[in-house]
Structure 1
Amino acid sequence: MPGRTLPTFTTAEVKSHNTAKSCYVTIGRNVYDVTDFLDSHPGGSDLVLEYAGKDIADILKDEASHTHSETAYEVLDESLVGFLASSNGTANGTANGQANGAANGKSTGVDHANGNGVSAHPRTGMSCEEDLSKETDFSDDYKKHKFLDLNKPLFLQVWNGGFSKEFYLDQVHRPRHYKGGESAPLFGNFLEPLSKTPWWVIPIAWGPPVAYGLHLANEGFSSTFVQFALFCLGVFIWTLLEYALHRFLFHLDYYLPDNRVGITLHFLLHGIHHYLPMDKYRLVMPPTLFVVLAAPFWKLAHTLFWWDWSIATTIYCGGIFGYICYDLTHYFLHHQNLPLWYKELKKYHLAHHFLDYELGFGVTSRFWDDIFGTELPSVVKTK
């Protein structure tokens, strides 16, 4: 920002900007207005507001949280609004001062793969979760990649795009971020609302049927403990099913038919989530799609346990409860600040997006990744 004249602020003035309506932070003497970034922060706005009006140099370097990439500092570069006044009332800095150097000596020009110890995907160059939420310039992105124009409905662009499978897979796994916290248009018509699902719809839609199913099935048990054990078995079966569906259906990827039918179905089922991973309304499964996927498993459960309806129903309800936990966990991993154990899971799942989508298929846990050898090796647990 050469040549730009920026104002100075007193420490008290910066501290007064500590709300969601006006959120300032500092690094050294640089003052940043990050209000517009609150809703886009991968850890949730609360995590940013915790440091509103304060210096964030230490938290940006805190590996117990996560190491921030240069993308975080690029966001700050764009949010520079002034400088802290020194004791003599002057700004200790220049308009084109180091927006990131004060925090940890990084430069926004650092290459992800320059041997500095930062793990990065060799194709996308992504190295941490901030990369997922860097706002995409729609026009530049379309001119550069000739893939999808985020200004227009996506469905027909995928259907009519004539993309090869190789090109499609390369592009759909390069995350974009839709500006303003809104959802990109998928259909652009009366079908649009059916493609969006707030997270709270999941427990409201499926919690009561699970409770009712367990109530009906309870009549077939002489012991509540036995029913509870079978319910837990259903939850455990779900964890394996979650892993299998994510790995072999959602990431069918290179086994896709190389035609627009296969590519479009992939995009609707899971591709759009990898393309726009921070879209709040396409993080959980729409009820209409869940019914289609869940119905065959109802039939399967009652076929396998044909001799006892109560056993089959209880195990099935356990599976549906496991799904509810999965979808809520998935949403919170993308958009909420979480307790320590979940922070580890959050880093693990987001690395599946920004580091290597061909590994790390567990969402509610990494148990089956460990069992089947698909764990993300570069994601190290916090000591």
Structure 2
Amino acid sequence: MPGRTLPTFTLAEVESHNSDKSCFVTLGRNVYDVTDFLDSHPGGADLVLEYAGKDITAILKDESSHAHSDAAYEVLSDSLVGFLVSSPTTTNSNSSNSKPNNTNANGNSKPPILEDGLEAVQDANGNWVHPRTGMSCEEDLTKDTDIASDYKTHKFLDLSRPLFPQVWFGNFSKEFYLDQVHRPRHYKAGASAPLFGNFLEPLTKTPWWVIPIVWLPPVGYGLYLASKGFSSPLGEVGCFVLGLFFWTIAEYGLHRFLFHLDYYLPDNRIGITLHFTLHGIHHYLPMDRYRLVMPPVLFAALAAPFWKLAHAVFFWDWHIATAVYCGGIFGYICYDLTHYFLHHQNLPLWWKQLKKYHLEHHFLDYENGFGVTSPFWDKVFGTEIKPKDKRV
């Protein structure tokens, strides 16, 4: 569902979906279609239908009568179909991923304190959002950006015009650029914002399925050549697994120290434009499905030094070095596909937490959470996105 622009509903439209054929519920401004969940609800479909077309904030929070686990909220997140149109009659109840009601006895707003010590701020609609990303929850990543209003407000990039020349000629300071590029925007559904706006444009877009098509055959051929140097298949398998392990370290290192060079960037347009082209555009437009996986030409440039490195480390045996290298390339394939699916697919239960973790890297804390296929190295090096006691 992320990856397309979600529609808006009036309260009357939501209330009309009040049967077992079509059952909508709301949680704050979020609208969920829970029709498919009716038969799976532990308490039976009737308990859900009792709230069909209604807001379920109160019953979800009433633990004494009907406690709900985190799994219930995960089911809801997969059922999001749109947002309630703001109106005087629209409820301002908060979802589990939305701002808390932080008011004192006099009705004055008290900003919630985020886990990184920063205070939340209020956006134009009065919602509490993270001061560095301007977002409060992962659903915000799929809300359409008002292009004209965004450009008028921030004076950064106009999404209706080619982005590359705007970055190159923008004369942005590094501080301003980093602040803006980490405030995610969302272009119109099913399309990519123009990068060059000319004949180079198709070369900037890579569908996810290109990755296995391009890289699996070389991996297979490399393993075939390497197999001639092993007396037992187990030896090659061991080297392949070793390569997979090395990839997990490379994945973390590249993401943290190259893609997020950020504050070590030179404060000039060359450094800023290179940063935007390599990874900044992904944080600026994180749900752009055609600029999410790495273009083959770019990865070939990054992979070439690793070929030399593998054969330098395992200099005594070409076959071992090749098997290890193939394991690393296969790890990259898994990484890019995982990255795409975390952004654009409903995933099995055991991956939902990983999806939540990675999307928090985009809307909450881009200075932590560098592991994509696993948070393992984040835990080792102290860059894990911690569970939040207070959520925006």
TM-score by length of 1: 0.77
Equivalence map 1:321-340=2 (5 Å): 321-340=330-349
Residue matched to 2:246: 237
2:190 corresponds to: 181
Q: Aligned partners of 2:100 and 2:138: how far apart in 1?
A: 16
| Other-structure match for 2:223 | 214
Aligned residue for 2:111? Answer: 114
Amino acid at match of 1:76: F
Cα offset for 1:126?
Answer: 2.5
1:363 lines up with 2:372 in the alignment:
yes
Contact 2:192–2:288 under 8 Å retained in 1? yes
Task: Describe the SS at the equivalent of 2:165.
Answer: helix
In structure 2, the partner of 1:378 is 387
1:130-169 to structure 2, matched below 5 A, reads 130-169=139-178
Letter in 2 for 1:101: S
Q: How far apart, CA to CA, are the structure 2 residues paired with 1:270 and 1:321?
A: 21
3-state SS, counterpart of residue 280 of structure 1: coil
Query: Following TM superposition, by how much is the alpha carbon of 1:25 offset from its aligned partner in structure 2, in angstroms?
Result: 3.0
Structure 1 pair 5–362 and aligned structure 2 pair: CA distance change class (3 A): closer
* Residues 27 and 99, structure 1, Cα contact 8 Å, conserved in 2: no
1:343, CA displacement in angstroms?
Answer: 0.9
Cα displacement (A) at 1:197: 0.8
The one of 40, 62, 84 equivalent to 1:77 is: 84
> Shift of residue 144 of structure 1?
0.4
Which aligned segments of 4 or more residues in structure 1 are displaced greater than 4 angstroms? 4-12, 47-62, 65-69, 72-75, 106-113, 116-120
Q: Distance in 1 between matches of 2:305 and 2:372?
A: 22
Query: How far 1:108 sits from its partner (Å)?
Result: 10
CA contact (8 A) 1:135 1:177 kept: yes
- Residues 1:97 and 2:96 are matched in the alignment: no
The alignment partner of 2:24 has SS state of strand
Q: Is the contact between residue 73 and residue 100 of structure 1 (CA under 8 Å) also seen in structure 2?
A: no
Give the distance between the partners of 2:11 and 2:373, measured in 1 at CA: 49
| 2:89 counterpart SS class | coil
Question: CA offset at residue 124 of structure 1?
Answer: 2.8
Q: C-alpha displacement at 1:100, in angstroms?
A: 4.8
Distance 2:349 2:223 in 1: 33
The residue number in structure 2 matching 1:289 is 298
Alpha-carbon distance, 1:73 to partner = 10
Between the aligned partners of 1:8 and 1:307, the Cα distance in structure 2 is 68
**Counterpart for residue 203 of structure 2:** 194
Q: Point out the more displaced range, 130-139 or 140-149.
A: 130-139
Is the Cα–Cα contact under 8 Å of residues 57 and 102 in structure 1 kept in the other structure?
A: no
Q: CA deviation at 1:347?
A: 1.0
1:224 to 196, 219, 233: 233
5+ residue gaps, structure 1, are 19-23, 35-46, 81-94
Report the equivalent of 1:21.
Answer: none
Which amino acid in structure 2 is aligned with residue 115 of structure 1?
P
Asked whether the 8 Å contact 1:73–1:99 carries over to 2, the reply is: no
Deviates more, 1:161-170 or 1:50-59: 50-59
Give the C-alpha shift of residue 377 in structure 1. Answer: 1.6
The Cα shift of 1:162 comes to 0.5
Residue of structure 1 in register with 2:273 after alignment: 264
Quote the offset at 1:357 in angstroms. Answer: 0.6
Q: Which amino acid in structure 1 is aligned with residue 24 of structure 2?
A: V
Paired with 2:146 and 2:305, the residues of 1 have a C-alpha distance of 42
2:282 alignment partner, one of 265, 269, 273: 273
Please report how far the alpha carbon of residue 340 of structure 1 lies from its aligned counterpart in structure 2 after TM superposition: 2.2
CA distance in 2, matches of 1:232, 1:140: 50
- In structure 2, the CA distance between the partners of 1:329 and 1:6, relative to structure 1 (3 Å rule), is closer
Distance 1:279 1:303, change over 3 A: same
- CA deviations on 1:78-119 (whole Å, 9 max, x unpaired) are 3x8xxxxxxxxxxxxxx7422453978x88997997339899
Output the CA distance in 1 between the equivalents of 2:30 and 2:388.
32
Change (3 A) 1:182 1:123: same
